[in-house]
Structure 1
Amino acid sequence: MPLSEQEQRLLDEMERSLYHNDADFVATMGARSGARPNYTSLVVGILVAVLGIATLVTGVIVQQPLVGVLGFAIMFAGVLVAITPRRSGGKAQARGPARPTKGTRRNSGGFMDSLGERWDRRQDGHDR
């Protein structure tokens, strides 16, 4: 179900406010959202994690705690390799703050202030 025109405007205003007020968060999330997963490191990480689980189970079977701890460390390293995002080497550029388009106006008070003003107008019966 598509958004109504009012909901779409509210969503656009929230997005502009986010870009305007929290540029660091936007830069962090923008860089991650555009990055493709590195399947090679994912597969290698999963294989290393499975090897670590096998070593851990072997340590339990032969009743050698040191082998079990080593297996856990290998498993942990494999998971880290699998979930750590690849380094882009400067290829991915962080998106800067969004600029308002031609038909929009920029509030100096921010998104929450405009919501408060709308709420006050609605309570007074002016915005129906």
Structure 2
Amino acid sequence: MPLSEQEQRLLDEMERHLMRNDADVVSAPRDGRTLSYRNIVYGTVLVLLGLGGLIVGVSAQLIVVGVLGFVVMLGGVVLAVTPTKGVTGTPRVESENKAPKPTSSSFMDRMNDRWDRRQEER
């Protein structure tokens, strides 16, 4: 069933809005915490070493080596995906004229408030 003219216009408007704001979502600050490429590389190396140890442990039937290889792999994954505190991150300063929001608001109310604040920043 084809879309009506009004539905098509609304869909086009939503697509334009999404394309315009997509870069904002990707570059949104995350409290100064970012993934470190160095940690990703070190984590990948640890995963590969752990995988090698796991394969050697299983093939030679050395359970201790296999378990150690698995632990090294797990540590490499944790190292790779753990965000680090960025030095260049600038803390966001909340405007002083806003009153603190009550914490008992619903999830949707908080999402709507965040959306409104983001639109006000433009």
TM-score with structure 1 length normalisation?
0.48
TM-score with structure 2 length normalisation?
0.50
